Structure formats: C-alpha cells, structure tokens
Structure 1
C-alpha cells in the first residue's frame, strides 16, 4: 500500500482534478437469507481552528447473522452553514442528491466491498473541510445519517445525530482507525492469504493520526485482542498484559500535526477456535502523554517510535485534554473462516477501503469522489417549475 505526502494546500487541487462519484439509488426487496440488524455510530466530528479540516467517521456495524444485499446512507447536513464548514460523506458506491431541493440532503450507497458481514464493522470517512482553510469557531451544527436497507430488521439503531464542530481550542487531536482483520499473513514469506483460518497468523493494521494543530509528545497505544487471539511474537517497545492486552509506549516519541503512525500488530488465532466465527472485542486506544509547546522547534524529519514495525508518514489530513477524544479508540473484530483453501498473495494486507483511509487522503483517494460531489452539488440545477429553473450556489 502506497501513501503519499500532501498538505492542506493540495486538497483543493485533488478535488478539482477528481471525477464525481455518483450512483443511482434504489431499494430492492430483500433476498432470502439476507435479513440482519445494522447499527450506526459516529466519531471524531470536532476540528480545531488551526487545521484545514478533519476526517471524521461513520461506523456501520452488522449485529445480525446475515450479510445484507444493499445498504445506503441518507445524509441530512441541511443545518450546516457552508461558509463555516463543508461536510461530505464518502462511499465507494457513490453519492447522489436527494429529491429534496436542499443540496445538503443526499444519499450514499455502499459498494459490495463496504457492506459489513456478520460481526463486521465498516468505517466510512466523513470529510469536514473549512472553506479556504480559514473558517474559525466556535461553530456547531447538527448532522443526521440514517441507514437504509431492505434487509434491516431493527430500525431502532439505524440513525445517528451528531454535531460537527469547529473549536478555537488548540491542541493535539489523535484519531484511531483499525479495520476488521479478515486475511492471514505469513511472516516467513511475506504473503497475504485470501482468508483467515484457525491457527493462522495475521496483522492488525492500525493507523493513529494527529489531526490537531500541536505536536503530541509521548504516545501510549493499548490494544485489547479478542478472545482466541494473541500476539504472534514479541515486539520491541510493546508489553503483553492481563486480559489479552498489548501496550506499546514511547514517552519521547513526537507525533507531529498532519502525520499518521502506521503499526501492523502481528497476531495469531488459536488453532482450536470453532470457525466460521467473528471474534469480537478487539480495540485500540491511543493516548498522548502531553503537548509540545508551540515555540519548540520540531525536526522536519519525523521521529520513529521505539516499538518495532511502526513507521510514520505525513498525511493531508491521559494527562492532558485531547481536542476530540471521541475518535481516540476504535473497535475491531477478527473474522475467522472455516478451514479450506486460503490461497496466497503478496505484500501487506489489503483489508478493504478502510485500510489506509487516513493516509489515502494525502493521495486524494478519499477526496476524489467526495469533494467533487460537494462542488457539483453547489452548482446543482433544481427544477422548481416548468420554465423556471435556477442554479444553487
């Protein structure tokens, strides 16, 4: 997986060069055996004045026993003042305008690769972009996102309302993303399998970003592994603890603003686990020990933490207060398939659209469809009556 370095000034360029991601919306009758229970939550929707914007997250979890045939998100951002903040939802399936004249009402389809299976969670990026990067707070407005699926059997957890917020506070803003683990990884050959079976080794792919405007000084990462999953081999700087915890800590490490720490944690699944099964209960929590003073000089060369296998790359995107602690922890599951032919691949694991989602912003991957969709919706032509057309701007 390739990550490129981009700064805030490049975001607008990526948007202008991108093509829109627009998909038609329709809800078919559900197929037999696709009934399930979907739930949605949000995280990381507060951004500091000192940042260009932020990537927040909508998390769609499958609490049932089947994989739905179709999932869409209906987004209501009608109360967001676009002179203060641009809010865009991104899905691989693409977004299209709602029938309502308000261009801040739209629907986004999930691609088949994004639809969560039983016990899985899909994390979808929500872009909070400040116009020209200069809008300042305090500012707050509500957004509502609702799941729509013909296969959902419980609509009590299908909607989430949260505030998008711009704050004049200055500080660190850590954000954590850990996709579900679905594939094996052979540490001797460096090859990735197509599935994960009992007894296999794998990587828990982790990204920890600093989307604030100050440097985090000292970092502590606390993993909790699901039952039947353990650390595959010792890692420098990381210690195993009670209840399947792994703590990686470096009190001197500096995570600069607009940077992401990437740590693939090697794990192994018990040989006697009964599969297929979704092993839930995994999580990663990131905490910074402190904030580097604004006047302190920072080396342009990012430091590397003591714990092994980690690397630091720039992105475009406790003992002190994190600006937005809601995205400091992320849950994950380990999806174990029944024993069979797993096949082989090569390189680092590709665990779906979420893997590398934070780092991918620098390369314009996330912004490509989403930002162009935002631009197009601001230029949308709304037919209000025959012969009486007008353009929204």
Structure 2
C-alpha cells in the first residue's frame, strides 16, 4: 500500500483520472438489452460529528443486471429536513435540481447516459450535508428517502431506501473510504500523473486499485489499519508488495498497517494497490466482491497544539502540499468505513463490451459498459468558501482526501 498526499484540488484531479476520465480513451460497448434490476443498496455517511460543519454522504445505486437501462433518475425526498434551521441536504452532482417554494422538498438527479451503471456496477451519488449552526443544543435527526426511476427497471420493490440524517453531539474520528471500480489499466508508477497512459483492461493485465480515505470527524485519527479483499480472478501483483501489508497465501486479501499516519479533520490520503487480472478470466465480465475497510487505532483532540505537533516526517513516496492542514478509536459514523468495488475486464483485443461472459465458474456478471459514474468529493473548507468540487468517476464514488503520515515502502 502506498499513501500519496495531495491538496484537495489536486487529489480531485487524480481521482478524476483514476476513476472515470479513462472513458476518453475508449468506453466499452453496452451489452444488448436494457432491462435491469436497479436498487438503492445503501446510503452511507449521514451522521455528522459535533464539531464538523460539512460532510459528504453517498447514495449507492446498484445494477443487478442483466442489461444496462436506457435512462436513470435518482430522487431525494428532503421534505422532512429543516433546511433553514439545522442542516442543508444537497445532492452534489451534475444534473441535480431542487423543487420547493419555501425550501427544497425534492431533489431530482438525471444521470447522464454514459454514467448509468451496467450489470454489477454501482453508481454513487454524493450528498453534501451542511450544518447551518456551529453548535446544536441536542441531536437533530430527519428522514430522507432516496428513490431510483427507470423505464427499464424490472423490480420495483427495491427502488427506494429511507435513511436518518443526524447532526450529533458526539465528537470523534469519522473515517470514510471510497474505492472506484477498476475499469482500465493503470500502472502503479503512473497513479499521480496528470494524464496517465491507459488501455482497456484485459485478462492477464496489471492495474491499480485506488482507495480514497478521509477523516470527516472533528478529532485527529492517530494510526490507521486497512483491510482489502479482491474479487475472484484478481490477485495482488507479486512483484510489487509493501512490507506494511500482510498478504494471504492466495494473494487475494491483505491487512495493511499505517501506525504512523495521522489524519486531521478534513485531511485524507490516497492508497494505491497494484493488482493483476488472471489470464484465464473469461471476458467481458464484471468481477464483483472487492472490498476495502478501515479503522483508526486511536484519536487525539484537534487542538492547535496537537495539530502543530502532528507527525510530518514522510518517506519519499508520500507527498504533502504546502499550506495543507495538518487502542482502536471509536468512529462517529462507521457506515462509510468500507466500500465495495468491482474489476471490469474487457475481452482481449477490444476496448470492452461484447458477448456475455463469466469466470470458469460462470459467477460474475457480464460487462455492459465502463460508465463514468458520478463520483464527487467535496472538501469542507472548499465548500465553506463557496466552491464545490466535482469528481466525475466511474460508478464507485470517490471521497476526497488530502495529507496524512505513514511509512510503507513498496
């Protein structure tokens, strides 16, 4: 595991390149047929720590197949939210608009065609929650209902989910992780390049899984432990391993320790994991079942003294921008401490798409497109200044991250 440090704007560019902008190189064709089972699988990160003013949550919309719908709309019913009192709840992506005379009561997000998830893929819609007052006398909660609509949806009873948003009186670390689906080749050494060379991901190819990690709490995260599991048919690159990670014998899972890493509120890191697709995988196919999860080892109060003393010694492969902010800890909101991802493999000699496929056991879903899904990271400080940061990335959201501190060597 390598943790790369960037300021918010630069990391946004990295996330854009790594997660979705590769469609400029070539987008796999959609499989024939538009009938699909769409579902709101989760809405995560909806609890805000006491000292946090702005937080990004995510609504996950998964396509269970078999086809790719021709159109998709995501709606958020915010009629129960006191927008002008405690909190504002704002879907933060292109194509989203609000309705309501006195306050927004319904948000409608029309998903662009190229961002509609194919079978086995997940669209993650970023939602910004802004606490309007610095302190609340007591915890505030309100229900929000997310619903998906598509003329091609085959199952109507799993199209909505209701979640409670919460402005809490609880202080602490609040880690979040976003792992974009892997759809193109990305060389480990090219992760931080502005325009990395990319090609279609075919059986036998090497690429990189990225994990965007951020502390959205109000206390310093002191040490980090991360676990990563890869889909069947994908293994870690045996030639590029990190001493801080313990790998399973089959090279499909790893436990990684970043005991020297400290993340201040609003700070984050980018982890990079070189992997390989098995040569025997039958493509095109979406290999699902990947997962990254994490926890903080401890926490420190975000006082001026602690922030000034926060560890800043970095090995050569970590980068800290100038002027950036600098026993297991509890987590204010553990719902966003893990994220699933898929590895989308194209047929050899093509840019992707084609006939249905699967691995030797016929398990994974066929690939129907390398969508540039909605992935938006919004930095609190940037938002306070009135600027939203948008990261258009494929299906799997990307949380914004900046600097931290650890000592792995590749």
Q: The TM-score by the shorter chain falls in which range?
A: 0.7 to 0.9
Distance in 2 between the 1:37 and 1:361 partners?
38
1:247 aligned partner: 255
2:377 aligned partner: 357
Distance in 2 between the 1:188 and 1:254 partners?
24
Q: Secondary structure at 1:326's aligned position in 2? A: helix
2:92 aligned partner: 90
The unaligned stretches of length 5 or more in structure 2 are 10-30, 353-369, 392-410
Q: Secondary structure at 1:113's aligned position in 2? A: helix
In the alignment, is residue 208 of structure 1 matched against residue 213 of structure 2? yes
Higher relative contact order (CA closer than 8 Å, sequence separation 6+): 2
Q: Secondary structure at 2:75's aligned position in 1? A: strand
In the alignment, is residue 112 of structure 1 matched against residue 98 of structure 2? no
Q: CA deviation at 1:294?
A: 4.8
Distance in 2 between the 1:273 and 1:304 partners?
42
Q: Secondary structure at 2:123's aligned position in 1? A: strand
1:234 aligned partner: 241
In the alignment, is residue 125 of structure 1 matched against residue 133 of structure 2? no
Q: Mapping of 1:1-393 within 5 angstroms?
A: 4-5=7-8, 33-40=33-40, 41-82=42-83, 83-97=85-99, 103-131=104-132, 133-135=134-136, 137-187=138-188, 191-232=196-237, 233-241=240-248, 244-294=252-302, 297-299=306-308, 303=312, 319-342=328-351, 352=372, 357-358=377-378, 362=382, 364-366=387-389
Distance in 2 between the 1:137 and 1:315 partners?
32
Q: Secondary structure at 2:36's aligned position in 1? A: coil
Report Cα offsets for 1:125-180 as digits up to 9, x if no partner. Answer: 01100125555641000000100111110012110100010011110000010011
Contact kept, 8 Å, 1:92 with 1:114, in 2: the verdict is no
Distance in 1 between the 2:32 and 2:128 partners?
35
Distance in 1 between the 2:320 and 2:233 partners?
30
The unaligned stretches of length 5 or more in structure 1 are 7-30, 344-349, 369-393
Contact kept, 8 Å, 2:78 with 2:106, in 1: the verdict is yes
CA RMSD of aligned residues (A): 3.4
Contact kept, 8 Å, 1:57 with 1:124, in 2: the verdict is yes
40-49 or 135-144: bigger deviation = 135-144
Normalized against structure 1, the TM-score is what? 0.76
Q: CA deviation at 1:251?
A: 1.7
Contact kept, 8 Å, 1:3 with 1:360, in 2: the verdict is no
Distance in 2 between the 1:279 and 1:184 partners?
15
Q: Structure 1 residues 304 and 60 mapped into 2: Cα distance closer, same or farther (>3 Å)?
A: farther
Report Cα offsets for 1:298-335 as digits up to 9, x if no partner. Answer: 237764777x966567999x823200000000000000
Contact kept, 8 Å, 1:38 with 1:158, in 2: the verdict is yes
Q: Secondary structure at 1:247's aligned position in 2? A: strand
Distance in 2 between the 1:116 and 1:352 partners?
9
Contact kept, 8 Å, 1:181 with 1:351, in 2: the verdict is no
Q: Structure 1 residues 186 and 293 mapped into 2: Cα distance closer, same or farther (>3 Å)?
A: closer
160-169 or 356-365: bigger deviation = 356-365
Q: Structure 1 residues 355 and 301 mapped into 2: Cα distance closer, same or farther (>3 Å)?
A: farther
What is the aligned residue count? 336
Q: Secondary structure at 2:113's aligned position in 1? A: coil
Distance in 2 between the 1:2 and 1:108 partners?
32
